[in-house]
Amino acid sequence: MVRMTRRRFLQGSAAFAAATHPLGLLAQRTTRHPLFVGTQTGRGSKGIYAYSFDSATGELAQVGLAAEAENPTFLAFSPDKHFLLVANELDEYQGKKSGAVTSFRVNAGATKLTKINEVSAGGPGTCHVSFDHMGHCAFAANYGGGSAASFRVDRTGRLSDAVSLFEYSGHGPKPQQAGPRGHRVTVSPDNRFLFVNDLGLDEIHVYHLDAATAKLTPQAPPAWKALPGSGPRALVFHPNGRWAYCANEVGSSVNVLNWDAKNGVLTTAQLISTVPEGHTGPSAPSEIIIDKAGRFVYVANRLDDFMVSFSVSPTDGKLTLLERTSCGGKVPRHVALDPTEKWLIVADQVTDDLAVFARDPKTGKLSNEGKRFPLSRPQCIVFA
């Protein structure tokens, strides 16, 4: 009889987990990694496309159409990667001014998606979706509607109708801020709060989350307030859970925020520009990401079209500019690091391509020259 040591048990548990993942054991035996790309439909695009990425060479190979979907402009995986949540960025859904949220099951091999159900997002222009860290709740931000909603997710991945819906009012000082603009829904690291970036009101709304029911309750104080005219668009947390980084679309800047999880309060620690001093042309940051070690932050800048890289202070989370480099095309809408973090992939909306850049994990620096792969109106990249 073979003795079952703790090491053998852990090895067996890891193998079982891999076998029950949609990708099975294949993910452990290859340098190829599956991913999905959401698009703006029309002009040749029909929905969500499956790709295979080779982390040894930086080559992308399109597998095919994973699922037909209407304007699937943002995608989010459940924590176990079994389900994919999709923001359908629509102005009208079922005869009402609303976008939609769709839930898909990820089939074996991560090349096809099976639709589970679709529900109203509660407002038009649905541009962002997310899961909570348990996979029991889902959230949507509505740009055109200036609103945000929460949904319950059952064990099969089916979405409920909206449990909570918040519609905002008011405006900011810039033309892009003529009304409220829900743009990002982010769950706190401890799964107790939800943050809603409001580009139009220069705020991040903060809510208590009941993860058992998906009900949201406004926090007191109810919001973090950005510098007027900032337009807070995207938010990402540091792996330590104590710092957050907010990319401001209108102000072309990044706020470093301290997060007080006990009291549910964000406070500003730093404001740093994404554009060079004296810059006067159009600029609109679209996405912000951080590496797994929490050492480097990357921001995609649209209109003037570049990537900007920052190093992160290990003591206070503040940012220092590393460099500005090519984004490979025009209007970089979204960016993602591959699982090895040796490559950064950019979805360039206007030039209809995905651009791949080599990354040095030690220095955080990106190559200024990348490989380009055609795709009509790419919007969002997620690795399975």
The pLDDT of residue 339: 97
Residue 259 falls within a domain, yes or no? no
Residue 382 falls within a domain, yes or no? no
Q: Could you give the C-alpha distances from 71 to 142, 165, 196, in angstroms and in order? A: 14, 22, 22
- Ramachandran angles phi, psi of 82, nearest 5°: -85, -25
Q: 199 is in which domain, residue-wise?
A: 69-225
Q: Are 159 and 153 in contact (CB under 8 A)?
A: yes
Residue 198 falls within a domain, yes or no? yes
Residue 174 falls within a domain, yes or no? yes
The pLDDT of residue 30: 79
pLDDT mean values, one per 10 residues, the chain (384 residues) = 39 43 51 97 94 98 98 98 98 97 95 98 98 98 97 98 98 97 98 98 98 97 96 98 98 98 97 95 96 98 97 98 98 98 98 98 97 98 97
**Using CA atoms, how far apart are residues 304 and 282, in angstroms rounded to an integer?**
6
- In terms of Cβ atoms closer than 10 Å to its own Cβ (0-12, 13-18, 19+), residue 320 is exposed
The pLDDT of residue 4: 38
Residue 1 falls within a domain, yes or no? no
Residue 4 falls within a domain, yes or no? no
Residue 51 falls within a domain, yes or no? no
The pLDDT of residue 43: 85
The pLDDT of residue 29: 56
CATH of the domain at 188: 2.130.10.10
Residue 158 falls within a domain, yes or no? yes
Domain count for the chain, please give it. Answer: 1
